[in-house]
Amino acid sequence: MNPMTNTRSINKKSLNTKIRVQDYDSNLEYDYRKYWKDREYENQSERNILSKLLKDNNLFKSKPNNSRSFIDIGGGYGRLTDLYQNKYSYSILFDYSFSNLKKAEGKNNLDSNVFKVCGDIYNMPFKDGSISSGMLVRVLHHIENPDLAISEISRVISNSFILEFANKDHMLSRMRHFKDKDFRKQDIYSIPHKNDSQGFLNDQIFLNFSPSYIIKTLVKNHLIVKKVFSASNFRQKYFKKLFNTNILISLDNKFGIIFSKTYFGPSIFLYLLKDDNLKNNFLDKAKDIKDIFKDSLCCPICHGDLKNLYSKKLVCQKCGKSYDIKDGIYIFK
């Protein structure tokens, strides 16, 4: 959690509902890259799992013509772009923070087929089923309304998705509750509330979710869990003092199956398949990758088609709303 940023309210356009979002642009002096300076183990643990999922999935084997686009929702400055950018025809780095997306320009290995889009997860500027696959990592704990966010993800994804969430019922938490004889907090079926999650601190959204609540929400939104991975199982300071990162990663690998089946760790990765497997028809409409990407865009307010205006602005053909393109970043907020 970052004590240097604030929240702001946005509208869920289709419901006219106010929702709080974490705004990393509220303090431009904050640099999210520094958060990872002393978290090499957590970084490697996540990268290890993502490498397995991106390599050992059925996308390329079963649907090679429907596996060319990927979205990294909340991808920030592009910490994980090297894991997926060469596996797809094009990728989208999507984040609410314009400043974080600007920092992605400093990555020497950022592929030219990675497009940067600034917007919010509740109103994504993409047509239904226009993106083959994607992931949400280190984001859901900042999501005040997971149901609406997951519904929007399901709308734009046509094939598969990787979702990570902060696990409210990790093993250490369960042991603490058992010791205190606080069995109410062991209820893994509960929807997170202020009093039985990490809650709202300093006007910030930071929630740990029950695995069963997340899975039920996914199923309701036509996303089926196919694989489970437990991450950052040894993130406690005493483990880091005793063992280096390589040893901790090897322990993760050795006990990975047991940890995953028991939702052991504080971070859980789910590999999901869209149960209706919509065909992505947006990849055959143009040969130029940039044109294909633009064809997947739509107005986040009314989902109308967009027209390019003077290469610096997109205008909705349905409602007339305009959106800027600044420093190569498509801005939809």
Q: How far apart are CA 87 and CA 60, in angstroms?
A: 9
Tell me whether residue 1 is in a domain: no
Question: Using an 8 Å Cβ cutoff, are 225 and 270 in contact?
Answer: yes
- Which positions ≥6 away from 242 have C-beta within 8 Å? none
Q: How far apart are CA 333 and CA 330, in angstroms?
A: 10
Burial class (CB in 10 A: 0-12, 13-18, 19+), 182: exposed
CA distances from 302 to 126, 141, 153, 314 (A): 11, 28, 17, 14
First to last CA, the chain: 23
Distance, CA of 15 to chain centre: 22
pLDDT in tens, 239-257: 999 999 999 999 999 999 9
Tokens of 303: 């989902």
- The residue with tokens 């907090």 is 185
Angle 167-171-177 from CA coordinates, rounded to 5°: 95
Q: Give counts: helices (H), strands (E), the chain.
A: 10, 15
Which segments in the chain show pLDDT lower than 70? Answer: 1-16, 56-67, 106-108, 176-203, 277-287
- Which positions ≥6 away from 256 have C-beta within 8 Å? 229, 230
> How crowded is residue 204: how many other Cβ atoms within 10 Å of its Cβ?
17
Which residue blocks in the chain are alpha helix, DSSP H?
Answer: 40-55, 59-62, 98-103, 146-156, 171-179, 211-220, 237-242, 245-254, 256-261, 289-296
Tokens of 37: 């300076």
Q: How far apart are CA 77 and CA 97, in angstroms?
A: 9
Tell me whether residue 297 is in a domain: no
Tell me whether residue 160 is in a domain: yes
Beta strands 267-274 and 157-166, pairing class? antiparallel
Q: How far apart are CA 276 and CA 309, in angstroms?
A: 36
> For position 154, which CATH number holds?
3.40.50.150
SS3 282: coil
What's residue 8's pLDDT? Answer: 60
CA torsion sign for 304, 307, 312, 313 is negative
Tell me whether residue 303 is in a domain: no
SS3 33: helix
What's residue 283's pLDDT? Answer: 57
Q: Supply the range of the domain harboring residue 141.
A: 6-292
Tell me whether residue 90 is in a domain: yes
CA distances from 77 to 96, 106, 151, 161, 203 (A): 11, 9, 25, 20, 24
What's residue 326's pLDDT? Answer: 94
What's residue 14's pLDDT? Answer: 59
Domain count, the chain: 1
Tell me whether residue 311 is in a domain: no
Tell me whether residue 159 is in a domain: yes
Tell me whether residue 309 is in a domain: no
> How crowded is residue 19: how many other Cβ atoms within 10 Å of its Cβ?
21
What's residue 181's pLDDT? Answer: 56
